[in-house]
Structures are given as C-alpha cells and as structure tokens.
Structure 1
Amino acid sequence: MSAPVERKRPDMVTISDVARHAGVAVSTVSYVLSGKRAISATTRQRVLASIGQLGYHPHAGARALASRRSNVIAMVLPLRSGMHLPVVMELVTAVVTAARQFGHDVLLMTADEGPAGLRRIAASAMADGVLIMDVEMSDARVPTLRELERPSVLIGFPADPSGLTCVDLDFHLAGARCVDHLAGLGHRRVALLGAPPVVYQRDTGFAHRTRAGFLDAARRHRIAATARPCGESPAEARAAVEQLFRDDPAVTGLVVHNEAAIGHVLAALSSRVPDEIAVVAICPDHVAEAAAPPLTSVQIPAAEVGRQAVSLLMRKLDGGGVPESTLLSPVLTVRRSSTSP
C-alpha cells in the first residue's frame, strides 16, 4: 500500500516523494525512469501510478548528472542566405516530431559557430548528440565531428563522408533523373537553373551534386547542356532566364532546382511552357502541384530525411550500428509541364 505524502505543487515533487508514495527505494524509481535495470511489472506500474498521481517531472539537469544523458539532441542550423526557409522548417518540424517519439527534445542552434560550436556542445551536458545541416563539400566542421565523442548525423554529404553518418536525398541521381526524362521525350538541348550564386560559392553539397548529376546524364545521353545559378528574387530569376536564352536560344528542356525562384521562372517564360519549353523542377510536391501549369518534378522529401536523421542518431546513442551513407532514391512525378519538343 502506498504511503501518504504531503500534497505539493508538481514542480516541487521530488524523486524521494515518489519513492515514499510508492513504497519503494529511491533507486527503484530511478531504475524505472532510466530503464537501466529490470524492474518487475507490478513494481513498475506502482511507481508509474505514483508519478502520475503526484505529477512528478524529472529535473533535466539532475537526470543528466545521474545518467550522463540529457535526452536532448542539438540541431545545428546556420540560417544563411540561399536557404529556402519553408523546406528547412519542414525538415526541422520532422526532426522535432521524431525526436519526441524517442523521448528527446531538440535544441536548435542557429548561430553559425562552426567547429567551435560543436566543441562547445561536446564539452557540456546540454545535448546527447548532434544533427548537422547545410553541409558543404569541404565543410570545416567535418574534422571536428570525426574527433568528437558525441554521436552525430549529417543531413547532407561532404566530399569525403568516410567515418561519418550522413543522410540525404540522392541529389546526383535527382539531377540525372530530370535529364533522363527530358531526353526520353526527345529534347536535345537542356539547361539547369540551380541554386543562388552564394550557395555554389559555399560549395554546398546538394547544389554541387545536383549539377554534377545533371551534366553527367547529359553527357551520357549525348545532348547539349548548360548549368547556371539562379537568384531568388523576381528580377534575378527573370535575368537568369533571359540570359539563358540569349546564350542558347535552342534550349527546349529546362530543369529548375530553386524552390524560391520557380514561380518567377515560370512568369519569365510566360506561355512558352510546355509547348515550347518543357520544365522539370526539383522541389516539394506541394510547390510543383501549385504551379501553373503543374510541374513535372522530383520530390524533395524533407520530412522523411528528418525522420531518418533522428532514427540514425538514436541508434548511435543506443550503441547500435548504422550505415555511413543513407541516400533516399529520387521519385519523379510527371505532370503537365513537360512534353516532347
């Protein structure tokens, strides 16, 4: 029979109060909370019932000291120019939702502190593991990640991913799939309007790989191809389109890999899509479906990437083995924007 306990506000209830109420040792309550030792089902249920009745919430700092686990993961998200926030927030939402399913909270770090920020996380008890976004081909954080004791997962791929755990859409194959589709329709001159110039200047991995996949596929099909960056504003997108067709008026197939510029590119092309210019986009499905005309597209599965990243990190935290590279296969959906030339 559980012992009576003086009624307290939930934020004042201690683990000792729970133990007294359940009629067990403090260590037993701790084992029920941490799962580090097997407890009989009857005792476990009695402890959980006391926790529920008293409204006990384990103090995060005390739990971290006791178990060396904070049940928090850090997500490093430098908010820099050229990052399309709707896609970023879809990914962040998926990470937070998936982390809660594993009983973890997410500490969002928006300051671009580079390697120093990673060392600061590792030296403290604020997070059990780290997710890294906006990965560059020669990312300055990679050597530090290889040295840290804290488990980490990169959402994106550097040039050399050895010794790391990385997950992302296979952007190289995504760029190739777009060209395969256009070539299959009979287009012989294609172009890529990609990310803003600053993204290429940083040598960001997803932009680099999309362009490489696009050009590799064009060579494989023996068709003419050109690739150039595209700014996000209406004026920048229009200028990119106009310059493209001044340089090569014979282009009939266009791939757009810049979610923020898609509407502006279509506006610059006016009524030429799809009768004169076939357009394929690499973007979220809802963006492609809302365009006029609806765009043939390769989906960016931001939510699935976020879920996979959290799952990989949790497996590493539990000491399980994980693959170094997890590449999600691109899916191309045909809509009204692409026809034969």
Structure 2
Amino acid sequence: MVTLAEVAQHAGVSASTVSYVLSGKRSISVNTRQRVERSIRELGYHPNAGARALASSRSNIIALMMPLRTDMYVPVMMEIAIAVATTARTHGYDVLLLTGEEGPDAVRRVAGSGLADGMILMDVELDDERLPLLRETDRPAVLIGLPADTAGLTCVDLDFKATGALCVEHLAERGHRDIAVVGEAPAVYERHTGFAERTLDGLRGRAREVGLRLLHRPCEGGYDAMAVTLARILDERPGTTGFVVQNESAVEPLLALLRQ
C-alpha cells in the first residue's frame, strides 16, 4: 500500500504539503498541486478514510435511519433509500444505513461518535422521541416526514392531508356517497406515524365538508388480511361503493377480492 510519505518523496515535497493538497486546508501553488496530484495518480495512492476523517473532522458519510418494521412496505422504503444513496454519491458522500428500532439511542450514537456528518431520519412520528436530541445536536439532520412540532427542524414530505382530501373529492365527483378507507397496519396508527395520521385527517375533513360517509379500517396487507378487512367493511357498510387504499400491499388483494 502506497503511503503519504512515498507520495511526498515522489513529488519532491513534504508530507504536510501532500496533506494540505488532499484536505484543501491551505493554499498551495498550482504547480505544486499539479505535481502532487500527478504523483498520487501514478502511484495509485488512496487516502485512508479513517485517517482523513480524523484529520478533517469529517467522515463524508450520511446516516440514513430507516427502522425495518414488519408493517412497512419495503418497495417504497427501498426506493427512498436508493434515491438517498444515489444523490449522496453525486456529492461525494456514502450512506450508512441504520435499520434498528433504537429511537433516540441511534441519534445519540451517531451524534456522539462522529460516525456521520449528518443524518436523515425516516418513519417520523407526530411526537417522535428522537426530536429533543435532534434539536440539541450540532449534526445537520433532515426528517422525511412531519412531526406535530417542526420548530428548529428541517423536514421534507408530501402533503398527505391534501392527498386524503383529493381522494374524497375524486370519489364524490363520481357520485359515491359511501366509501371505505383501507388504511395502514394498526401498529402504524398506534405509533401515530405522521403520514398516516395526516392522510386520515384529510380524508375525514373533506368527507364531512361534502357530506360523504367514510369508514376507516386498518389492514395488515396481504390477501388473507384484506379478505377479513373487506368482509368487515361490507358487513358494517353494505352500501359501500368506493375505496381509498393507503396500504400499498393491500391493493392487489383488494382488486382480486372485488372481482370475485
């Protein structure tokens, strides 16, 4: 393995000059920089990531906190994770994926250890227990989701309340007066996950405004769970003519059951 000292000897400069060229911390003449960069290429030198992080106080790593739960819809979560990793790569960053349900402990570990330069948090709850730590740390953090109180936080999300309202409007305009909402798994509502709560709020609010009856039933997803949920819906509201499905894993089973 080629060392920094060998690069310095090859370029005819000091080791500290090579270090400054790599870190960009000091102004180096164009000729000297080009000589060092040429030596790096010719020798095939690759800076040690750990040493570089210690020297610069940066790791060039972003921590993506994506708790893997049994009630999550994997395709959507992975689509987001891939988008994060791809975009990070274009900016010279790698992504550290944290999948445990550690809550504040994960934030504390990343912020206190210097594992990552910043954090992206998914599966955000309305009263997320990670928020107090995020407000205290000096590590940049972005939430994919909206908690109830966004003060002092950077958040990105879709407007799920508007989405719910638009679903009701769409069905109401087509003459439906009795609709059912096939929601996320019960645990999602028990955690008060932001996107699910906001969608339901939008659905119910617009249904009241247009005089449409709405029945919401959580569903685990999958054929068997959807069959039980559909039977329950039709038993409680036999006049149901329209459906709003938020749980993606329930879409195909519902369509198959309705065709029977």
**Fold in common (TM above 0.5):** yes
Deviation at 1:15, TM superposition (A): 2.1
| Cross-structure match for 2:171 | 182
Q: Distance in 1 between matches of 2:184 and 2:27?
A: 53
Q: Does 1:208 align with 2:197?
A: yes
Q: Secondary structure at the match of 2:147?
A: coil
Q: Counterparts of 1:108-257 in structure 2 under 5 Å? A: 108-257=97-246
Question: What residue in structure 2 maps to residue 94 of structure 1?
Answer: 83
Match of 1:53?
42
The Cα of 1:201 is off from its aligned counterpart by 1.0
In structure 1, the gaps of 5 or more residues are 1-11, 272-341
Deviations 1:70-127 (A, max 9, x none): 1111111211121111111111111111111111111111122111221111111211
For residues 229 and 173 of structure 2, the distance between their equivalents in structure 1, rounded to whole angstroms, comes to 26
CA distance in 2, matches of 1:157, 1:177: 19
Counterpart of 1:61 in structure 2: which amino acid?
G
Map of 1:292-331 to 2, 5 A cutoff? none
Identity of counterpart residues, as a percentage? 55
Cα pair 1:81 1:198 within 8 Å, conserved: no
TM-score (norm 2): 0.93
Q: Which moved more, 1:142-151 or 1:185-194?
A: 185-194
Structure 2 stretches lacking a partner, 5+ long: none
Is the Cα contact below 8 Å between 1:173 and 1:213 reproduced in 2?
Answer: yes
- Greater percentage in helix: 2
Alignment CA distance shift 1:19-1:260 (3 Å): same
**1:151 alignment partner AA:** P
> Any idea what the Cα deviations from partners look like across 1:159-198, whole Å, max 9, x if unmatched?
1111111112221111112112212222222221110111
TM-score with structure 1 setting the length: 0.72
CA distance in 2, matches of 1:110, 1:232: 22
Report the Cα distance in structure 1 between the residues aligned to 2:108 and 2:196, rounded to whole angstroms.
27
Looking at structure 1, the residues matched to 49 and 249 of structure 2 have their Cα atoms a distance apart, in angstroms, of 40
What is the aligned-residue RMSD (CA, Å)?
Answer: 1.7
1:165 partner letter: T
Question: 164-173 or 23-32, which moves further after superposition?
Answer: 23-32
Q: Which amino acid aligns with 1:188?
A: R
Structure 1: how far apart are the matches of 2:160 and 2:21?
A: 44
